[in-house]
Every structure is written in structure tokens, then in C-alpha cells.
Structure 1
Amino acid sequence: MDKVHKPTMNWAATDLNKEWKRFKQHCEFTFKGPLATKSEVEKVNYMMTYIGDKGREVYGTFTWARAEGDRPAENETLNGVYAKFDAYVAPKKNTIRATVNFHRRKQLEGERFDDFVTDLRVLVKDCNYQEEDRMLRDSIVCNALHSKVKEKCIDLGDELTLDKAITIGQNYETSQESMKVIINKDEDAKIHEVRKRSNYKQRPKQYNKTSARNNKCTKCGYDNTHNKCPAKGKTCAVCHKLNHFAAVCRKKGTNPKGAHQVEEQYAETDSDTESQDEYQHLIDVINAIGKTSNSEWHETVIVDGEPVRIQIDTGAAASIMSYSWVKNKKLNHKLKPTSLKLQSYTSHALEVKGCITLPTTYKKCTVDIMYYVVKTDKIPILSGAASKQLQLIQRINSINDYPQLRKTTGTLPGK
């Protein structure tokens, strides 16, 4: 019996009648289970040990019928003791109040649908309704937590029964739990690309230096059967000229130390239109080659109140921050998980710890910038877009806007 949860009576309960019914039911299960072999008098005594000090005080106020012939004394039978306490809590039963409690009962956030229905069944007993099932059905329609459950119930109209309403609620809850499992699996999967569209054909093979040149596009390095070259309008991260990628740049061998590059890979979609949406892009961040040098492309900015020496990379599609820096700072912003995978130009995967949005200030300009946090000891990278937002760089569309640049001071080599 020591391992069995003993019944307890809460005499401070707001609804004393409901609390007594709960306590009485627990006692009945106990007397039919672990204490089934006990005598009637012993069961009464057990109950009086469970009922608490207040219950024993109330017990002392009752008047009991004495034993007569074969009939035992009233206080020696469970039914006799039950009847006295039933009568004691009965005056505290209020039908109007019970009705109000029933209609105010709503399914709580995080509460299981079956638990909600069970509590409704308990509350409706004290309302003295002639059609309890109909009232339970209506309460589910009005007070269920999820709007989808309410909508499906309303769609059935007069055909909706209590059983159908319960089934709808249970099925919706089950489907939501299944979706959580599926979503968690998707987040754990290894994703190496950022899709602009969900439906696409197989990605062409990446550029291979050993492949025949006549089968490769000289602008992007991929199979030249594509309808539109993805390098069109793009700026090379090596020479900073338009309409080709760094992977096929002829000046690639002269790339200065400390330079960063971004390569974009694509796959054709099912449509043959010339829209830029016809390509999906992979963000491939190139690690610094050799040691970082002090050059005009480095600048000190304020990141979340801390000065940081950062590399301005106009060709980078993402801003990068060192994980060790984030870990050692007491930041006001939390690191968020991300499914985005970054890799170097040499196809080496970068260990992405997550992403974080931090206020970044240069002079009087402050911008919230999203950094991808990577486990590396290289200097942080500020993407072209972020550099433009901070007014670190400016795009010149026409040299005519700057007359001072039109003055020639010499000639180019070979001219």
C-alpha cells in the first residue's frame, strides 16, 4: 500500500462538490483494488485517514444512526459515510455557477484535446442539462483552441455530432504532431543549396578543369547548353569585371592574398523563360588565401558596441563572423540555427554554427546586418550588399557623374 498514491481531499477547493466527487472516486478505486480484502469498517477508517483534519472535523458534527439488528451502525459503512458527506457538500452546489464554469472552459495553449474534453464532461454533470451531448458538442465548437477544428466542425452543420466533433479534434492534434516530426527531420537533413524555386531540373555538373573547353561556357564554367548564362550581369570577385564568375577568370592566378570570393552555381527550372528566377543559387564563400593584409579593403566598424576589424568583400553574397568572437562576447542577441550550408571555392564545407543579426555602425550609419557565424580564425567578411548599406562603398553607374575621373594622366599598358 505504501507504493499506491493515496487519495487526498482539498477542502480549500473553489468547487467543493467537484473536489468531493474526485476524492470519493479515488477512494472507491482504492477500496476495490489494493484494499479490496479489508473489511467495511477498516475501509471507513482508511477513508477517514485520507480525508484530512477538516474532513474529520466535519465527520464529528454528523449524527449517526446506531446499529439495529443485523444492520450495522451508519458510520461503520462506506455508503453511510458517503451519504453524510454528499449531503454536506450538496448545499454548496450551484447550478448557475456550474453553468458559467462550463461555458467559460476553453482549451488552453499546450493542453491535449482529450484532456479538454474530459474536463468538459466533468463540468457538464453539474449543469442539469437535458441534452448533455449537444452541449458538449457546442462547447467544443466554440472553445477548442485551434481555428481549423472549429471550421471543420462548422462545415458539417446539422450533421455534426459529439463523436464527430471529438474525432475532428483528435485527428487535427495527431496531424500537427506528425508535421512537427517531419519538420524536425527536414531541418536535420544536410542542405547544400538555397533554392529560389522548389521545382527544378537536375543541376548541371560543376566546372571541371579537365573537361573539354568546347563543352563549357567560358563565362560561368558550366555546360553551355543553358538558355541563359547565370554569370550575366554578375561581378567577378577576382578582377571585378562584369559577366563572368571567378572560377573562369583569366586573372584568377593573380588573385591577391587575403582576397575573398563568392561563387554562384545554378540549376535550370522547368520553365524556359529568361527571368532570373529561372536559376537557383548556391552561396559558396571562399576562405581567405594566405594571411590577411592591411589594405584599403579593411575597415574598423562597431558591431554590437565592439570595434571589429573587417574585410570589405564586394563579391561576397553573405557576411561572415568568427564563432570564437561571438562566443567570447556578451552579446544582446542570440545565435539562431540555420540550415544554410557554406562551402569554399575548393568545395570544402565550412562549419556554420548559426546566424545572428547584429547592429553594425560605420561613422554615423547603423544597420542591422545578418552574419553567418563560421568556425574560422579568419578576419570577418562584410558582404557587398552590407558594405553598400553602411555607405562603405558606392556604385558608379556612369563616369560622367564624376568629371574629375575623366582627366587622363597616362595610358594603359599596351596602348
Structure 2
Amino acid sequence: MIPFNKPFLTGKEVHYMYQAVYAGKLSGNGVFTKKCQSFFEEKYGFKKALMTTSCTDALEMAAILCDIKPGDEVIVPSYTFVSSALAFVRQGAHIVFADSCSDDPNIDTDKIESLVTEKTKVIVPVHYAGVACDMDKIMKVAEKYNLLVVEDAAQAIDSYYRNRPLGSIGHLAAFSFHETKNIISGEGGLLAINEERFIRRAEIIWEKGTNRSEFFRGEVNKYGWVDTGSSFLPSETVSAFLYAQLENLDMIQERRKAIWRQYYEGLKQLEEAGFIHLPVLPEYATNNAHMFYLVCNSLDERTGLIKYLKDNGILSVFHYLSLHLSNYYTSHYEYIPTLTQCDKYADCLVRLPMFYELKNEDVEYIIDKIRSYFVYKC
């Protein structure tokens, strides 16, 4: 069976974890935490980067920093992972779900302004598959209505919008290093802070509501409980693992992009024949090859394709279910919007195997089986 995902190890992860263990500093915010944070600040220009135990934690920190209160409205695409909405729900927000674009699973930026009310406080664009949302349009709406923007960049490491790194455009951003991402630490995440006004409070929230970071920098002579917060700071061994990955970012990205191009070139004739739709890359966006997906023309076709591939030794998966149709949302909200494009992707999108060690011959085999399914089964 060709797996959907296989975590890639560079070879130095365990070595750096060993160093962290024998340095006697395991609780976090040590040498490797600082190295990872400096990497992101220097390479992508974030004013401050804070390692977290997950992307969900980074989003929860962002929700606290946005000062969300019960009844505040937050605009989120329905086609996303639950954390994009849940982080704000935990602070009492009312989620307003937005539809996807007709040719792209990202949020339909042309419809965001129509969703803004006097209660709206935050817009959460999700860069699906590492491909940028139209951030100029989003930031223009945010500026017009004095809203905050939190980029959900879970899938978007090393991807750009008009030469600007994703995660550096909104007021705040969250990244994921889950084992399915390009760069991994098993679990793990990062909060990117792009405005000075959020930095001090973010450090306090990060350290369980205390000003412990200031104390260790010698800025105060004692530390205590000064704000809300939680245990968002990961173990030093998590950062040690991640740093080995970051050192090899360019190599990992180069290989993933080669696999992505091989899929695209091998499947584009099926798209031209009308059997499938392939990913669209807008002129303002780069491709970080986080995933390769295709969109079938119906749920039945999608179900049949996944089964056919599995029968031939290939594990492919569908992706998100529409959050506006989830049990939680429908049981807590009276108004359920109609989001046609979101539902299309929920029913028809298929993710193909994508990982560093996937061989060219395996990709060709997968392409061949997809062609066979549509030519002989449909």
C-alpha cells in the first residue's frame, strides 16, 4: 500500500533532541525554542514568533489577543479544519461562515464584506493547500471596518502572496508542524505576531498568564500572575526536532514541488477531457506543495475513485466536511447558511499521497490508476 503520508526525518532530529535532554533544559523556551523562533523572524520577517504545542494553541492565543468577547462575530471559511473556528468559539464568538471560491477552496474574498456587521471583530483567512487567499482584498475590508485579521497558515509555510510570506500580512498568524505538514515536529505550532502592540501580552498568555519571560530577560525582579493564559509553550525536545527540519527546509520543499509538478503534468489531460478539476494557482500566489488534490464531478465519482485506488494499493483521502453543516454548528445556531462551493469541495475533493520519500515511479503508478478509473469506470 502506498500510504497517504509518511513523516520524513532528516537524520538530525534525535541528535538535537539528545542535545536538549543533556543540556538539562527540557521545559521549553530554551536554546532550540529560541533557534526556531529566530529562524521564522529572520526568514519571514515576523515581528515576533512564539512556538506553541499545536496550531490550535496558536489560534487560541490569537483569539485571546483579539480580545474576543461573547457575541463578537468572527468570519471563517466553512471549508477548513474545526480549529479555525473553535479557537474563537471558546472565547464566546459567534461564527459567521463564508463560502469558498468556485475554482479554489479558499475563502471567497468578494463576499466577505457582505458578511460584516457592527459585531464583526475578526476575519480568519485559511490558506488552503498553502495557496494564498487574496490578502489585498481581505486587508482592505479589515481596514475599512477596523477589523483584525488572523491568518490560518497551518498549511502555508514557505508560501507567498505577491512576494510577501504568508503569515506576515495579517495582524496575527498560526502555523502547524503536525506530521502531515511540510515541516514537522509530530505535533507543534507557531504564533506569528506582526504588530508590536500584541507582543508583550502574547508572551504573558504563552507563559500561563505570567510575566515569566520578562523575568528571565532581567526586565523585572520577580514574576507573577498578571493576565489570562495557558500552557501554550512546548517542550524543548519538540523544538529540537523541528529545528532539524528547518535546517533542511529548502531541500524538502524542492522535492515536494517536484512531486506536485509530476502529478499536475500527468493529470492535466484528464482535466482537459472534463473528468476532473486540478488545483488553480492564482497569479498572486506561490505553491509550497503542501498537498496535491483533484476535484471530481460528483460525490459518487469521488467515492468510487478512493475505493478504486485503495483496491490498487493506494491510500487517498477526502478532506474537510462543511463546518456549517456539522452537528455542533447546527445544534447551536438557528441560521444555517447555504454555501454551495464549500459543499462541492466537501463532496468532491480528493487528496493524493504526498510526502518527501514518494518515488517518481509511485507517482506514475498513481497517475496511471487515476487515468484507468476515469477512462474505464466512468
Range class of TM-score, shorter chain = under 0.3
Q: As a proportion of its length, which structure holds more helix?
A: 2
Structure of larger gyration radius: 1
Greater relative contact order (Cα 8 A, min sep 6): structure 1 or 2? 2
Please give the TM-score of this superposition, normalised by the length of structure 2: 0.20
